[in-house]
Amino acid sequence: MPQPTVNLYYAVTFMPWSLKPLYALLADRLPLCGYHFRPWLALSSAGSACCYVLAGTYVDTIGGAFLVTLVRSICNACAEFMLGAVLVNEAREARGGSATTLQAAANACRFAGTFFSAAVGLLLYPCGTVHRRLPDRLVISLTACLPATVALLAATGVLPELRDTRSQRGEGGGGGE
């Protein structure tokens, strides 16, 4: 990509992060199976995983890169919002727990994920004259394993969220309580 296109690419792909109020509206107004956050986390994580596989296997044009990365960014931003909402609900519901402790734990997990990603990146793309261990497209495709795992965990009910039976009966949304 030419440099001006790269600048536009990053500007476009960061836009979905500013749409978090829309993800909140989606979760609040359209619960799935009585849950406000878990199904949306599962769907958005699965969408992200699919986008990584598409990017790694099929994308070979600038337009394709824009489209797939924009959809992936929407999925990632939505997933991050849904996970944050679950965290806030847990902090609110915790008896004897501290919201600051929960937030600190979330930040620690984020840092651990960043550190893990950097370590794996160094293994796959060593510095210096050593050749790459895996082809670029394979690495991009394998990245799908992480959001796919999140989708699986969210779909199987590992995340704590109470079912909102009012939304099943059409009595309005709520926070899953």
* Interhelix angle 20-29/38-57, nearest 10 degrees: 130
**Where do we find the tokens 């044009």?**
61
Task: Round to whole Å and give the CA distance between 138 and 153.
Answer: 24
DSSP letter (8 states) at residue 58: T
3-state SS string over 83-145? HHHHHHHHHHHCCCCCHHHHHHHHHHHHHHHHHHHHHHHHHHCCCCCCCCCCCHHHHHHHCCH
Which of 33, 78, 31 has the alpha carbon at shortest distance from 173? 31
How does pLDDT run across 81-128, given as a tens digit for each residue?
A: 888 887 777 777 766 667 677 777 778 877 887 888 788 777 777 776
Which residue did the predictor score with more confidence, 164 or 157?
A: 157
**What pLDDT is attached to residue 164?**
64
CB burial of 11-32 (b: ≥16 within 10 Å; e: otherwise) equals eebeebeebeeebeebbbeebe
Mean pLDDT in residue range 157-166: 66
Task: Round to whole Å and give the CA distance between 59 and 70.
Answer: 13
Mean pLDDT in residue range 123-135: 70
End-to-end CA distance of the chain: give it in Å, rounded: 48
Task: Round to whole Å and give the CA distance between 122 and 119.
Answer: 5
How does pLDDT run across 21-64, given as a tens digit for each residue?
A: 899 888 888 888 887 888 899 999 999 999 999 999 999 999 99
